[in-house]
Structure 1
Amino acid sequence: MRKPKTLGERELHLIAMYSNWDFNMTPKQFYAKWQVSYEQIALICYRSDSTVRGWFKQGKNRRYPHRNDLRHLALMDFLLENFEEIPEHLRRLLFLVSS
C-alpha cells in the first residue's frame, strides 16, 4: 500500500478554492435549459425520483436541493456544453470515454 501524498501549499490552496467554489445550477434552471425528465435529473444528482419531484413542488411539501445537487447539475451542464472541447486524455481520466 502506498503512503498518502503530503499536502503542500498548492494542494491546500486548491482545497480552499474548491470548498468556496460557487459553481451551481438549480434544478429549475437545468430543466429550463435542457429537455430532460425529472428521472434524468434524479440520475445526475443520485437522488430518488420523488425527491426531485419535490424540488419542483410549491407549498409546504416542497423540498430543496442540497449544495451537492446544485454542483452536480452545474457540472453536467458544463459537460453537455463543452464535452467536445475537453481533451481526450482528460475525458479518460474522468471515465467519460473508454480507452
Structure 2
Amino acid sequence: MTPQALGRRELALLQFYCGCQFSMTPHAFYARWGVTHTQIAQICGVSEASVDRWFSHGKHRRVAEVRHRRKLAEMHFIWEHYERVPLELVAYICSPPPNGQVPSP
C-alpha cells in the first residue's frame, strides 16, 4: 500500500495539531477531581513517587512532562464529555478493554 500524500487539508490540520496545547497540570487536575496520587500515577503511567515529586516542594520537586499533562487533559476531557462522544469514535481512538465492552454513556 502506498502512503497517502499530504494535501492542503492534511497540512492545515498538521499546523492546527502542532499548535494545540491540550494540557492540564497535576495541580489543576487534583483541584478539579477527587483523585488520589495513586490514581494520577495510573492515568499518567508513572510511579506514585513521581506524582509525589510533582506535588512536593524543595530540591526533590519535579515538573510533570508534557506527555503527562496531556494524559491528564485527556482524562479530564473523557470525564467531562464522554456521553457526547459517539461510541464508534471511542472504539476507534481507544483500544478495547480486556472484556471488550466499551462503557456506555
Q: What TM bracket, shorter-length normalisation?
A: 0.7 to 0.9
Tell me which residue corresponds to 1:4.
3
Tell me which residue corresponds to 2:88.
89
What code does the residue aligned with 2:58 have? G
What's the TM-score once normalised by structure 1's chain length?
0.87
Tell me which residue corresponds to 2:31.
32
SS at match of 2:16: helix
| Displacement of 1:3 | 2.2
Tell me which residue corresponds to 2:48.
49
| Displacement of 1:90 | 0.9
Q: How many residues align?
A: 97
Which structure 1 residue ranges, 4+ long, deviate > 6 Å from structure 2?
A: none
Following the alignment from structure 1 to structure 2, what is the Cα–Cα distance between the partners of residues 46 and 34? Answer: 18
Following the alignment from structure 1 to structure 2, what is the Cα–Cα distance between the partners of residues 46 and 16? Answer: 28
What's the TM-score once normalised by structure 2's chain length?
0.82
Deviations 1:13-46 (A, max 9, x none): 2122111112211101111111111121112112
Following the alignment from structure 2 to structure 1, what is the Cα–Cα distance between the partners of residues 20 and 41? Answer: 23
| % identical equivalent positions | 41
What code does the residue aligned with 2:19 have? N
Instruction: In structure 2, list runs of 5 or more residues that go unmatched.
Output: 97-101
Instruction: Please provide the CA RMSD for this pair.
Output: 1.6
Instruction: In structure 1, list runs of 5 or more residues that go unmatched.
Output: none
Deviations 1:33-68 (A, max 9, x none): 111111211121122211111100011110001112
Following the alignment from structure 2 to structure 1, what is the Cα–Cα distance between the partners of residues 91 and 45? Answer: 22
Tell me which residue corresponds to 1:65.
64
Tell me which residue corresponds to 1:21.
20
